[in-house]
Structure 1
Amino acid sequence: MNVNIEKVVLQNAPLNAQYISNKIQKEILSIYSTKVRKRIRDEIGVDGKFCILVDEALDDSKKEQMAIIISDICKVLGKHNLLVSNMRGQGYDGASNMSGEWSGLQELFLNDCPYAYYIHCFAHRLQLALNGAAKEIISWGTRFPYETVELISLSSALDPHDAFKWFNIDDICTLAEKFYLLDFTTTELHALNQQLGFYKIDMDNIQAFKNIDSILILLERLIETKLAETYYLIDRLIHLVLTISVSIATTERAFSCMRLIKNLLQNKIADEFLADCMLLHIERELADNIDNESIISDFDAVKTRRVQLI
């Protein structure tokens, strides 16, 4: 479908270098996916805070596949130089091996980083609650741990909805001091309190912040108006709050993609090939912005070729 590539492949290519073998196609696909992963990593930044989402599903070959939205999780994080100490959120379903308080994955991460708060996927919670209500055995205390409720409740003080209706300086300061103490020094916590007073005045008077209904849009406006530099502590706290994941729907979408690629007719696709295909499909906006020249350059750099791909 690419005119420039069509000129040099298939019948227009030398017979000893048509580059249409499975091995070559997988090499090119791997180069593409590596570049997409690097762009995702670059978006996080050198010392950026992040949240991980993990879920599993059976593919059409009855093999368990794991989706990690950013197999050995620490190995994946280490490969992309993502430190566990910078993790600020975890999102899984209710499986005991993932969410267990004593030996689950969330607890293992909490041992290394106490600020990697675990949120049980709200979609799964709703399903559990509805099932429980139907059986009249619902237990809200176990469905919604107190710490989770408090974290989300305090975070709502940053919500710009209804002209910052829930804005509360004490709640925001408590949020930073109790849940993100590692990210703020004592001096910064005092400075945060002062910033919040001036911040609210600007939010009420600057037109760009009128009728905002999400924290994400609020963050975008702060960056656009360069007020993120003025209120850098609030900007930092908003970034941290945005790592809280209330749903693992992103991983569910990954599995929907998986079933399009690895179906009954193509159920022997190897894991690495499957992962590369899924990544390029899910992150196609990033993939579309990668220029062909950089792919060709990396392809030629892998090893000496009979004929250079041009």
Structure 2
Amino acid sequence: MASLSQRSVKNYFTKVLKSSVASSSQPNQEANANHSEVPLPSSQEFDLSTLNYDPGERTPILDYHPNHRDVIRRACLINGPCQPQLLQHEYPQTNISGSMRRFNSEWFDDVYHDWLEFSVSKDTVYCLYCYLFKGYNTNQGGGEIFSTVGFKSWQKKKNLGKHIGLPNSPHNQSKKKCQDLLRVQQSIHFALEMQFSQFKHVYLVRLSASVDVVRLLITQGLTFQGHNESKSSLSRGNFLQISHDIVSACKIETIKAILGELNGDYFSLLVDESFDVSRKDQMAIVLRYIDRNGFVMERLFDIVHVQDTSALSLKRAIEQDLANAMLLVEVAKIRLQAYRDEEWGSLIARVSLFCIKHEILVPNFEESYVSSLRSRRRLDDNKVSHHYHVEVFCNIIDWQLQELKDRFGEATTDLLHGISCLNPIDLFSSVDIRKIMKMAKLHPDDFNEFNMGSLENQLAGYIIDVRDVDERFSNLKGLCDLSKKLVQTKKHSNYPLVFRLVKLALLLPVATASVERAFSAMKFIKNDLRSQMSDDFFSGCLVPYLEKDVFDNVSNDAIINTFQDMKPRRVLL
């Protein structure tokens, strides 16, 4: 018995895949095959893992909270009766009237297969159906034997048949209740769920149609509402009752797509201002970056109403986020310093636990440190703990702190000379490695002391390659052509640091037509008949209208998801 009790609980029951419990519900399941599966009602925070499936040790069903009983019953029925998969000789023997008798495992395959349970701990059998609905049938065949006490008169197999009884017996009534409990399609929960599913489907169809209409109106620059919305008006608008949230969702997803195209690479901002038709000062913000193909891209990122458009005002509108970013930098510096001064011990503790968990050797921090670059005969006076603490941990944090403290300080002349030396015109006749290196030093965050040497080596090979060897670079007209050609010929991978310099040079703010293009579109979207548009709605229409090629690739599902997440909706998708 001791060895049997140590077996896994999973060995003591089997799932009933096609039992008579589920057989009567199959027609309903087939009738609802086209509907999505409906989950069972919530367990109301009851932990089903605490259930004991040994029928001799489990808690009586009526001892559970009424709100938990049906959940427990379903779990027991889904798991099936507890039927240990043991060899016949493994069942314990009992002396009954002078004869040694034991439970016969063949009964599990008999007509009792769907309800008969065996308790290893008590060496008795029970009825699963009667246990689950014991409180409703107090006089079932055999009294309390098959639901509470347990039956072990192995010489009286006929008593199992007596327990089943006639079609209207207490046992069969309990079985019917179990079948009804599993017939989810007939439950109130299922009916409500189906009704809600139909309502959700109708809502989704309407919302998808609304998104399609918004797409058409935005891309064509058409009005959503008329300037006269009275009932007597003959032109109240194309889509009077559309929520502006869909327009905002279109703008948000367009910006997400632009940022995805940027892919976390370098960028610059182009900013200008103009009056709209209502005499409001509008500031256009254009994002300038290099895409994956080496093309210089300029995308309208936003249009913002500002109170005044002096240089100081425009600077404040842009630098507000930069100021917040600098605050985060200061926070990062403080946290790094605190981490350096106070967190070494806790770091070592966490790393040691990780190493122990994954069976990784933890060094002895009290031993003398032996460098792999020095002879073991010349031991260092420092210990292992000093090496990792001072020479590794503190040095890395000090380097990070120094990177944060270093401010960009550029000399305009060196910057312009460096850009001119990168220009490919006239077969790279203006190339000067010394001036290009000076330009690189103006970007300490991108070219530190560790890769400046690599940059100089790359420049030497790059100049020979593109000027003297590869004829595909012989007729380039400027930095834009150079960037595209480097990507097309895969040389941006051969000379990544040189390509980084080219991108930085291309991202310098210059006067382009992109901002003016935004102002032209602004007059088309916000005209005399639409002069009362709100700033958010105006921006929501203008960004996807101007960036049609990006907006066309935004899916309706993405717009709908953003629309749903903007604020609580009556219907959750």
Q: Where on the TM-score scale, by shorter chain, does this alignment land: which range?
A: 0.5 to 0.7
How many residues end up aligned between the 2 structures? 237
1:73 aligns with: none
- Decide whether the 8 Å contact of 1:212 with 1:218 is kept in 2: yes
1:33 aligns with: 251
Task: Give the letter aligned to residue 34 of structure 1.
Answer: I
Which of the two has greater helix per residue? 1
**DSSP 3-state at the match of 1:222:** helix
The structure 2 residue matched to 1:63, chosen from 280, 285, 304, is 280
1:25-48 Cα shifts (integer Å, max 9, x gaps): x233222211110111122223x2
Alignment of 1:1-80 (within 5 A): 20-24=239-243, 26-46=244-264, 48-70=265-287
CA shift, 1:21, in A, is: 4.2
Distance in 1 (CA, whole Å) between partners of 2:279 and 2:563 is: 34
Give me the identity figure in percent: 30
1:232 aligns with: 496
1:67-117 Cα shifts (integer Å, max 9, x gaps): 1223xxxxxxxxxxxxxxxxxxxxxxx9441689xx9978x9699595498
- Decide whether the 8 Å contact of 1:228 with 1:235 is kept in 2: yes
Q: Taking structure 2 as the reference length, what is the TM-score of the superposition?
A: 0.37
Structure 1 residues 266, 63: closer, same or farther in 2, change over 3 A?
same
Distance in 2 (CA, whole Å) between partners of 1:255 and 1:40 is: 20
Distance in 2 (CA, whole Å) between partners of 1:260 and 1:210 is: 43
CA shift, 1:250, in A, is: 2.4
Distance in 1 (CA, whole Å) between partners of 2:498 and 2:565 is: 45
Distance in 1 (CA, whole Å) between partners of 2:421 and 2:313 is: 30
Task: Give the letter aligned to residue 183 of structure 1.
Answer: D
Task: Give the letter aligned to residue 240 of structure 1.
Answer: L
1:233-285 Cα shifts (integer Å, max 9, x gaps): 11111121121012154222212211111122211111111111111122111
Task: Give the letter aligned to residue 269 of structure 1.
Answer: M
1:215 corresponds to 2:479: yes
Task: Give the letter aligned to residue 281 of structure 1.
Answer: Y
Superposed CA RMSD = 3.6
Distance in 2 (CA, whole Å) between partners of 1:280 and 1:151 is: 36
**DSSP 3-state at the match of 1:40:** helix
CA shift, 1:230, in A, is: 1.7
1:181 aligns with: 444
1:194 aligns with: 457
Distance in 2 (CA, whole Å) between partners of 1:38 and 1:104 is: 21
> Is there any run of 5+ residues in structure 1 with no aligned partner, and where?
10-18, 71-93, 118-146
1:264 aligns with: 528
- Decide whether the 8 Å contact of 1:159 with 1:166 is kept in 2: yes
1:159 aligns with: 423
Q: Which protein shows a greater Rg? A: 2
Structure 1 residues 42, 168: closer, same or farther in 2, change over 3 A?
same
- Decide whether the 8 Å contact of 2:414 with 2:435 is kept in 1: no
Alignment of 1:110-121 (within 5 A): 114-115=407-408
1:282 aligns with: 546
Distance in 2 (CA, whole Å) between partners of 1:114 and 1:59 is: 38
1:186-211 Cα shifts (integer Å, max 9, x gaps): 12112111111100121122233231
Structure 1 residues 36, 96: closer, same or farther in 2, change over 3 A?
closer
Structure 1 residues 301, 95: closer, same or farther in 2, change over 3 A?
closer
Structure 1 residues 37, 180: closer, same or farther in 2, change over 3 A?
same
Alignment of 1:96-115 (within 5 A): 96-97=311-312, 114-115=407-408
Task: Give the letter aligned to residue 57 of structure 1.
Answer: S
2:517 aligns with: 253
Distance in 1 (CA, whole Å) between partners of 2:456 and 2:413 is: 23
1:200-238 Cα shifts (integer Å, max 9, x gaps): 121122233231212122222222222212211111111
Distance in 1 (CA, whole Å) between partners of 2:470 and 2:434 is: 23
- Decide whether the 8 Å contact of 2:459 with 2:498 is kept in 1: yes
- Decide whether the 8 Å contact of 2:414 with 2:438 is kept in 1: no
Structure 1 residues 49, 41: closer, same or farther in 2, change over 3 A?
same
Distance in 2 (CA, whole Å) between partners of 1:280 and 1:199 is: 40
**DSSP 3-state at the match of 2:284:** strand
**DSSP 3-state at the match of 1:183:** coil
1:129 aligns with: none
**DSSP 3-state at the match of 1:167:** coil
Distance in 1 (CA, whole Å) between partners of 2:252 and 2:530 is: 23
Distance in 1 (CA, whole Å) between partners of 2:239 and 2:531 is: 21
2:41 aligns with: none
Distance in 1 (CA, whole Å) between partners of 2:558 and 2:322 is: 37
Task: Give the letter aligned to residue 208 of structure 1.
Answer: R
Structure 1 residues 294, 182: closer, same or farther in 2, change over 3 A?
closer
Task: Give the letter aligned to residue 176 of structure 1.
Answer: A
More displaced 10-residue stretch of structure 1: 215-224 or 263-272: 215-224
Alignment of 1:125-164 (within 5 A): 147-164=411-428
1:74 aligns with: none
Distance in 1 (CA, whole Å) between partners of 2:247 and 2:502 is: 36
Structure 1 residues 95, 249: closer, same or farther in 2, change over 3 A?
farther
Task: Give the letter aligned to residue 451 of structure 2.
Answer: E
- Decide whether the 8 Å contact of 2:421 with 2:436 is kept in 1: yes
1:130 aligns with: none
Distance in 2 (CA, whole Å) between partners of 1:232 and 1:280 is: 33
> Is there any run of 5+ residues in structure 2 with no aligned partner, and where?
1-207, 214-237, 288-308, 327-405
CA shift, 1:304, in A, is: 4.5
